[in-house]
Amino acid sequence: MRRELEPLPDGVQLVAEPAPDVEFVILNFDVAGRLPALLDELPGLRVIQSLSAGVDWLLPKVPPGIVVCRAVGVHDAPVSEWVLAVILVTRRRLLEFWDLQRRAEWNRDIAEATDGWQHAIDDLEGATVLVVGHGSIGRAVAARLAPFGAHVIGVARHPRDDARSADELPRLREKQLTEARAQVAALQRAKQPPPPSDQEQILQMLAPVLRTTNDGRP
């Protein structure tokens, strides 16, 4: 990290251990379990830069007067590429073909739906993909799905031009959800999760749907 931050401005010193005169820290979720004790060792702290896009794990433990910065956009490319790769691998069932190749076997029936797979091999073109958590990463996923001809339904905490409100999710037409070829969850820990009845309804609607989950944010 030192090489990535250098050259440092005059008067700025990079340290690896907490000290009373430290004013700016870069934190990852790995330190979540020892945050209170760590912050006690930083009485002069003014700014926290999180390495994660979501900071819900951090905010409740930060004393008043300290600025918390999110890493919005930092993970958009790698995470959205990973999500797209997983969708393609599962939709095209490439791992099964790879396993057959290693065993030098040929099986044409693998392209059809089986007991272990709820779907036959299919294209993304014309498919509906539900993105629950249509923030920075969710929009990056949608942008990478567009060249494949997929139709994206975005769901966010608040409605926008490119996303529906999370409150609408239980009320979306069942046809829209069950016809979705993939679901992408790019979510922060919800401060107010949906009621159990709504959660059960969502799970029932999505039961036939292939789910690809991004748990990069706690």
Q: What pLDDT, on a 0 to 100 scale, did the predictor assign at position 206?
A: 45
88 with 6, same domain? no
SS3 category, 163: strand
Domain count, the chain: 2
Give the pLDDT band of residue 46 (cuts 50, 70, 90).
very high
Domain end, chosen from 25, 53, 69, is at 69
* Backbone angle region of 9, left / alpha / beta, with phi > 0 → left and psi within -120 to 50 → alpha: beta
141 with 61, same domain? no
Q: What pLDDT, on a 0 to 100 scale, did the predictor assign at position 169?
A: 72
pTM recorded for the entire structure = 0.72
87 with 187, same domain? yes
**Whether the predicted pLDDT of 92 surpasses 60:** yes
206 with 146, same domain? yes
Domain end, chosen from 69, 92, 127, is at 69
Q: What pLDDT, on a 0 to 100 scale, did the predictor assign at position 143?
A: 95
Burial of 72 (0-12, 13-18, 19+ CB in 10 A): middle
99 with 201, same domain? yes
37 with 94, same domain? no
32 with 58, same domain? yes
59 with 37, same domain? yes
Q: What pLDDT, on a 0 to 100 scale, did the predictor assign at position 194?
A: 47
Give the pLDDT band of residue 78 (cuts 50, 70, 90).
very high
Q: Which residue has the higher pLDDT, 29 or 204?
A: 29
50 with 105, same domain? no
51 with 152, same domain? no
138 with 188, same domain? yes
**pLDDT, mean over the chain:** 79
**Whether the predicted pLDDT of 22 surpasses 60:** yes
In which domain, by residue range, is 208 found?
76-214
Domain end, chosen from 47, 69, 91, is at 69
94: CATH: 3.40.50.720
Q: Which residues contact 119 (CB under 8 A, 6 or more apart)?
A: 91, 113, 181, 210
Q: What pLDDT, on a 0 to 100 scale, did the predictor assign at position 122?
A: 79
120 with 181, same domain? yes
